[in-house]
Amino acid sequence: MLIARLIADQDGLETRLEGAREALAGAGMPVALAAMLDFCGDVLQLSLPEGDRQRVTEILVEHFGACNLLVADHEIAVPRLFVSDMDSTMIGQECIDELADFAGIKDRVAAITERAMRGELDFADALTERVALLAGLEEAAIDRCLAERIEPVDGARTLVETLKAKGCRTVLVTGGFHHFADRVADDLGFERVVGNRLAVADGQLTGALAGAISDASTKLATLEDERATLGEGARVLATGDGANDIPMLQAADYGFAYRAKPKARDAANGRIERGSLTAILDLFGIPESEWVAG
């Protein structure tokens, strides 16, 4: 069984829906259309007795465009665990790029970041290279960067606090830095933080990391360790946008790619292409009356 939920423009909905149903049937996946689900937004649910998740997603995107959607192989339920990436997912910036601007090298660092996020560079090597470029930068620049540059994405606080109110544990796991992530987690309401640590000496960044690198394997291990404490049957949500998020997106029951790079988007069974992160609450069927304002 596959359950697909999506949020799309209402213009021409019936025509596009009929086209999607015909395409699914032509691919050997007849679909039953549930009533429009009266959540806080217009959420459409389709049920398929069986089918290929990736092909279902492709057909829905072909007919509905840049929609928000989730395709699961079980009845969709509110998760017990939420593990999220930070940069360009919970916040709208890449912290290392913004910090590099204070050293006058943002373009150089951002180019490396972009390639790493697309999966074109080894993450650890790219991180080590970028951190080395920050050697000599005053640690105080981090506080300025946080105050002047770093902002949560729309809906981030509401998503975290609403899930917590529903009994979901929340974990922020990042390939970025504790200097930023600890403050972001406190602001948004995350209960645990996993990330990298910048080495500092005499009030300046040394250009090195202190401790092991937090990367894709760390994100996956964090998700699996946290899942193991919840007991059998607990559903897990993960969100991310880049290549190093792929393992945890694939391991989660609900892996949402948030305005993501193509490789991450293709690996996920959920996607948010427009609007705020509260679209995830819509897709879980949590009415707006139960949202906890951020």
Active-site annotation, residues: 85, 87
Question: Cβ atoms within 10 A of the Cβ of 74, count?
Answer: 11
> Strand 236-240 relative to strand 37-38: parallel, antiparallel, unpaired?
unpaired
The token pair at 53 is: 């998740």
**Rg over CA atoms, the chain:** 20
The token pair at 226 is: 């946290």
The token pair at 271 is: 């996607």
User: Are 33 and 72 contacting, i.e. CB atoms less than 8 angstroms apart?
Assistant: no
DSSP string, 157-212: HHHHHHHHHTT-EEEEEEEEEHHHHHHHHHHHT-SEEEEE-EEEETTEEEEEESSS
The token pair at 261 is: 């790079």
Give residue 184's identity as a one-letter amino acid code.
Answer: V
Q: Measured at the alpha carbon of residue 188, what is the angle toward residues 183 and 191, in degrees to the nearest 5? A: 80
User: Are 252 and 219 contacting, i.e. CB atoms less than 8 angstroms apart?
Assistant: no
> Which of 127, 153, 150, 108 lies closest to 260 in space, CA to CA?
153
